[in-house]
Amino acid sequence: MLPKLFFGYFAFAIIVLSLLVITRRNPVHSVMWMLLLFFQIASMYLFLNAEFIAAIQVIVYAGAILVLFLFVVLLLNLREELLTNRFISAWPVGLVFAGAIFAGAVSAVAAFVPNFSGQYTVDVINRETHTKALGQALYTDFLFPFEIASLILLIAIIGAIVLAKKRMRS
């Protein structure tokens, strides 16, 4: 019962906070609600015994990405932003589509039966700790995807530099 209650609380809080993020007129408020949202998500991960991902959620998302968001908001003209609508006029269409996809997903997932158990059961994770298990998988079985991910990060750095370069004088 208690786990269900906790899960229910986090799930509800995440939904409410997400709605607050997208409906606020002031971008600074949106970002602040998002900060709270990220902490809720991190708690959810913690609750699911994934402490490493919870830490990453706080450090990377709440720490780095949110600061980046705030930088972007600093570059905006807040006074002008406050006068514009948060939603484009076609939002009801989007809502219908989103609702349809949601209904489809719910009906599909309702018939979802977990019918396998892999190498990493809850016992193994509890014994080895989540961080160790993740690290081992990442550096052995998933070494190849890990290396590709490093290239993707490199591309991001190159991209940022290229797009901020001075215009060429011929």
Partner 1 sequence: MPLVMPDLKPITPEIVMTCLALFILVADVFIKRKETLALLSIIGMAAAAFTFALPGALNTTFGGMFISDGYSMFFKIVFALNVILTILISVKYLAVERVNFGEYYALLLFSTLGMMIMASAGDLIVLYLGLELMALSTYILAGFIRYDMKSNEAALKYFLLGSFASAFLLYGISLAYGLTGTTNLDRIAMTISEKGLAGKPALTLSMIMIAVAFSFKIAAVPFHMWAPDAYEGAPTSVTAFMSVGPKAAGFAVIGRVFLMAFPMVRAEWVAVFIPIAIMTMAVGNIVALSQTNIKRMLAYSSIAHAGYALLGIIAGTADGLASMMNYMLIYAFMNMGAFAVIIMLRSEGFKGDAISDYEGLSKTHPLAAALMLVFMFSLTGIPPTAGFMGKFYIFMAAINAGYTWLVIIAVIFSAISAYFYLRIVMNMYMKDPKETVTLTTSPSMGLALAITTVAVLAIGVLPAKVIYLARVAFP
Binding site for partner 1 (CB under 8 A): 104-105, 107-109, 111-112, 114-118, 136, 139-145, 148-149, 151-152, 154-156, 158-159, 161-163, 165, 167-170
Query: Minimum Å distance from CB 168 to partner 1?
Result: 5
Shortest Cβ 157–partner 1 spacing (Å): 10
| Closer of 82 and 121 to partner 1 (Cβ) | 121
| 3-state SS record for the chain | CHHHHHHHHHHHHHHHHHHHHHHCCCHHHHHHHHHHHHHHHHHHHHHCCCHHHHHHHHHHHHHHHHHHHHHHHHHCCHHHHHHCCCCCCCHHHHHHHHHHHHHHHHHHHHCCCCCCCCCCCHHHHHHHCHHHHHHHHHHCCCHHHHHHHHHHHHHHHHHHHHHCCCCCCC
Q: Measured from the CB atom, is 4 or 169 closer to partner 1?
A: 169
Pick the closer one to partner 1 by CB: 82 or 154. Answer: 154
